Structure formats: C-alpha cells, structure tokens
Amino acid sequence: MGSDLSHGCPDVHTHAIRLLNLGVPRIVADVDPRPTLFLTVGLPGVGKTTRAKELASTHRILRLTPDEWMAPLFGHSDTGGRRDILEGRMIWVAHEVLASGSGVVLDFGCWSAVERYAIRVIAETAGADFTLEYVHTSEEERRRRAATRWLDVSDHVIPQV
C-alpha cells in the first residue's frame, strides 16, 4: 500500500487550496507573537496590586503577588527570609510561563534598579517583552492606603508604611 496519507483523495493539497479559495472561513488567532512580562513597581499603598489585577484581567495572563502567598504558606506575614525564597520561585515560574508563550504580571514592588534589570533579562532570555508599570500616588494617599490595608487584612500583607 505504501505511505499514501490522502486516503483516496488524489491531491489533498489542491483540495485544501480550493476550499480556501471558495471563501471557507479561516480561523485566525489574534495572538501577540511574544509574551510580555509586566512588572509593577512602586511603594506600598500606591495601587500596584490593583494595577496588576487590571493587567492580568485585560491580557488574560498569570499574576504573581507574593503578599497573597506569605500568610497562607507560612501562617503569618513575618518574612524571616522566606519572602526572598518565595519571590525567587515566582520568578522561576514566570520564566517557565513566558517560555511557554504566555504572559505574566509580577507584582513585586522592585525598588532596586538592579532587581528590575535582572527581571528584565530573565524575561528577555525567555523570548518575552518586558513592560515596567510604575504605579504612584500622593504620599498622603499612599500612607492612608497602606495603614488601611494593614488594619483590614493584617494576616495577608506585610506591614510597610
């Protein structure tokens, strides 16, 4: 019989071309060819997590926010060096997600230029774009939000004012 994969159709490719030319609708995905890593940057209480949630929803991508993991994983928000470990694992997960072709929002704060640069390099090594989302508000509003957040959800966030 040989390796004829046409199953009786003399020219499968010609048939497919004819279907396309007859106006048979083609499904074309509206997909950005490169994933993006969004990094929210700013002081506590400026609205980084709110912005990260907006980005994740708009782009339908993964959002990683360490503050939301600390208390559930460790029973409290006391870092004791564990936050660095958690963020390191989240960066690793972000790299894997980017390499798979999907985008990620890292809601880290990243006050240091060296940290921001390192995360940018990690995104680029995964073949992804990098977008820095600097979030800010007035100092008075920032302090009010941070204080309110600490009172409302003290078991889920790390106090920083």
Closest CA to 9 of 102, 17, 75: 17
Q: Which CATH code is given to the segment(s) 36-152?
A: 3.40.50.300
Task: Give per-residue pLDDT as tens, 89-109.
Answer: 999 999 999 999 999 999 987
- Rounded-to-10 torsion of CA 133, 131, 52, 68: -100
5-30 average pLDDT score: 50
Q: State how far the Cα of 130 lies from the Cα of 24, in Å rounded to an integer.
A: 38
Task: Give per-residue pLDDT as tens, 42-83.
Answer: 888 888 999 999 999 999 999 999 988 988 888 766 667 888
One-letter amino acid for residue 150 of the chain:
W
| Domain boundaries defined on the chain | 36-152
The per-residue pLDDT of the chain, averaged, comes to 78
Q: What percentage of the chain's residues is helix, strand, coil (to nearest 5)?
A: 45, 15, 40
